[in-house]
């Protein structure tokens, strides 16, 4: 089994990366492969800006989604929101790729002090669109610090990430075991879009 971890920070080896690594370690201990890719350092324009090299990057990631069983989306908190680059990336990725459907995911954020809850809330909206089971821990999925060293000193945040990794591994294994017993995910009906107008 394989989990894709998306780092929405421009600091490739910063706090978000450190948190993703804590989760990855727990997944790896359970025999689950992980791949961390960096998105925050890319120059990705908002939805509707097409044809650039950056859009080819989004397309190249979209083509790999089918190869993964689970996902972790991670971002630093910028003004109580995820990094705009990650939002642009996810807006495009989730529009062009349906291979996320019914695969478990978790969203994590790293911040110095405040704005974590509202940022997690934004990220959680993407998996919820595709019936993806959202994985939780024993607290909201946040870790605190301005440097990787500080992050590792956030004992509660570290525990939150560790348990998150274990819970994701558990759900991935339950889904796999369920399939072996003939328990498959429900068929997704064709989406009804009413725009509130009948």
Chain residues binding ligand FMN by CB under 6 A are 9, 11, 14-16, 76-80, 110-115, 145-146
Residue 35 backbone dihedrals phi, psi, to 5 degrees: -140, 115
Q: In this complex, which beta carbon is closest to ligand FMN, that of residue 37 or of residue 188?
A: 37
Q: In this complex, which beta carbon is closest to ligand FMN, that of residue 20 or of residue 61?
A: 20
Q: In this complex, which beta carbon is closest to ligand FMN, that of residue 11 or of residue 42?
A: 11
What is the bridge-based pairing of β-strands 2-7 and 70-78? parallel
CB 141 within 8 A of CB 107: yes
* Side-chain-side CA neighbours of residue 39 (13 Å): 35
- Closest approach of ligand FMN to the CB of residue 12, in Å: 9
Going by C-beta distance under 8 Å and a sequence separation of 6 or more, which residues neighbour residue 13?
Answer: 148
**What are the CA-CA distances from residue 173 to residues 5, 74, 104, 153 (Å)?**
18, 22, 11, 31
- Closest approach of ligand FMN to the CB of residue 174, in Å: 30
Q: In this complex, which beta carbon is closest to ligand FMN, that of residue 44 or of residue 111?
A: 111
- Closest approach of ligand FMN to the CB of residue 186, in Å: 36
- Closest approach of ligand FMN to the CB of residue 79, in Å: 5
Q: In this complex, which beta carbon is closest to ligand FMN, that of residue 8 or of residue 104?
A: 8
Question: What is the Cα–Cα distance from 179 to 82, expressed in whole angstroms?
Answer: 35
- Closest approach of ligand FMN to the CB of residue 149, in Å: 11
Going by C-beta distance under 8 Å and a sequence separation of 6 or more, which residues neighbour residue 196?
Answer: none
């Amino acid at each position: 089994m394989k989990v894709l971890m998306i780092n929405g920070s421009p600091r490739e080896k910063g706090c978000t990366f450190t948190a993703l690594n804590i989760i990855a370690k727990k997944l790896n201990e359970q025999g689950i492969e992980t791949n961390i890719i960096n998105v925050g350092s890319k120059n990705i324009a908002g939805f509707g800006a097409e044809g650039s090299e950056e859009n080819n990057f989004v397309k190249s990631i979209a083509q790999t989604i089918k190869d993964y069983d689970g996902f972790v989306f991670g971002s630093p908190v910028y003004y109580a929101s995820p990094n705009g680059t990650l939002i642009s990336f996810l807006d495009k990725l989730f529009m062009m790729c349906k291979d996320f459907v019914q695969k478990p995911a978790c969203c994590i954020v790293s911040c110095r002090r405040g704005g974590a809850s509202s940022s997690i809330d934004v990220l959680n909206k993407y998996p919820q669109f595709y019936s993806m089971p959202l994985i939780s821990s024993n607290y909201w999925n946040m870790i605190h610090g301005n440097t990787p060293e500080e992050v590792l000193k956030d004992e509660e945040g570290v525990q939150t990430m560790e348990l998150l990794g274990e819970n994701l591994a558990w759900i991935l294994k339950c889904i796999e075991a369920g399939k072996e017993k003939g328990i498959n995910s429900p068929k997704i009906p064709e989406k009804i879009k009413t725009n509130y107008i009948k």
